[in-house]
Structure 1
């Protein structure tokens, strides 16, 4: 069933209806899917509540739906993973956002580091990129039936990561030079982990000075294994290992 997200203010439970007024969604429903009155779709309020609805009114600027069923979404992880991703070149960031949204990351923070090829100094260009990345997260969330849409933060520098750390139970940095401390060892060393930050470097990795700076902010450098992974692979692998170790992936 096709899935759409709406703002909770568009959900009028007392009137047993939901309003869709996002023009892109309306175009997709009417022109691409060619749905009509009586057809059913799935709607999420972006706060882990789902609805099965029937289309009751179609308009160029508004679609009304009748609520048939309401239930809690069961697709969200109990873990809140924040991915701090150094911005890679080309369209790799698109892939990173898409796949980490699918795996269950809650928040993605783009980071500029010393070895980043991409340097975004124009604020309008930065906002365009963030808007594009957020749209990718929305579409990926629809596809994998997320109960939340991951937020894409404004671009930050390494030194700004410290302001996030105090709200996290653990912060890890996969680092190819780390030979003694594996990610499984670190995850198993602490109980009741709910919020985790993962910091991923760009092509070429972080400098030793940046690793030291992150460690001084409370981060732990870890090894993901014997092979060096690309920047677009490392975050997904780290997230998958964490979710498996803490019981979110792999089934019962």
Structure 2
């Protein structure tokens, strides 16, 4: 069953109806070719998901009747934020897609000393972020997420570190770390009180030594991913999958 996201304001409980507007209207009618009587999954992105039956389709909206209402059950019990140094070409799109599938809460693109990608101006930056957000939306639909991860506008490493002080735990994948792994770090902590975790991933070529020192000064724990060097587009969802497994979100 196809899944769509709406806002809480689009759900009308007194009349037991849901209104879908925007680009999804064309997708439902022209691409999927759905019609009156067909069922859809709809999520309000906050607390509930619904089974809706199409009552009417117009150019502006799709009107559904609510057939069933259920609390969200597909979200992780912890909030995980990915601080990803922006890689070249379409690697960022792959990172957003796969970490969305695995339950990421938000993605913060960061600009580091070895970041190659440059933005022409603010308009170019906004266009890129809009593209990344659309990828997150589509991945959230496909993976039956209850919430859409938010892709933030790119910021500097120092700005990201300041923002990350709100997290309960921050960890950075570092190729020169040889002692502490993700499992060992989590085992040494009282994870019952950890609700918000930041994952830090460097660009192609990795973080510079000065950046690592700066990050560690902000109480970001370095972790090893083993004896092999992973690409930047692989490291993020490797850390996320290990961490989610250890905290019980993957595999029971």
* TM-score for both structures, normalised by structure 1: 0.97
Q: Displacement, 1:121? A: 4.9
Q: Give the Cα separation in 2 of the matches to 1:187 and 1:164.
A: 22
Q: In structure 2, the residue corresponding to 1:14 is in which secondary structure? A: coil
Deviation by residue 1:184-235 (Cα, 9 ceiling, x = unmatched) = 1111111122211000000000001001111111211110111100000001
Point out where structure 2 has 5 or more consecutive residues left out of the alignment: none
Q: In structure 2, the residue corresponding to 1:15 is in which secondary structure? A: coil
Point out where structure 1 has 5 or more consecutive residues left out of the alignment: none
* TM-score for both structures, normalised by structure 2: 0.97
Aligned Cα RMSD in Å?
A: 0.9
Q: Displacement, 1:105? A: 0.5
Residue 185 of structure 1 corresponds to which residue in structure 2? 184
The answer to whether residue 233 in structure 2 is matched with residue 232 in structure 1 is yes
Q: Give the Cα separation in 2 of the matches to 1:229 and 1:48.
A: 36
Asked if the contact 1:81–1:198 (Cα under 8 Å) also holds between the matched residues in 2, the reply is yes
Q: Give the Cα separation in 2 of the matches to 1:73 and 1:181.
A: 35
Q: Give the Cα separation in 2 of the matches to 1:50 and 1:39.
A: 17
Aligned pairs, number: 250
Q: In structure 1, the residue corresponding to 2:26 is in which secondary structure? A: helix
Asked if the contact 1:81–1:197 (Cα under 8 Å) also holds between the matched residues in 2, the reply is yes
Runs of 4 or more, structure 1, over 4 Å off, are none
Q: In structure 2, the residue corresponding to 1:51 is in which secondary structure? A: strand
Q: Give the Cα separation in 2 of the matches to 1:185 and 1:216.
A: 21
Deviation by residue 1:49-72 (Cα, 9 ceiling, x = unmatched) = 100010001101111100010001
Q: Give the Cα separation in 2 of the matches to 1:206 and 1:166.
A: 20
Q: Give the Cα separation in 1 of the matches to 2:149 and 2:94.
A: 14
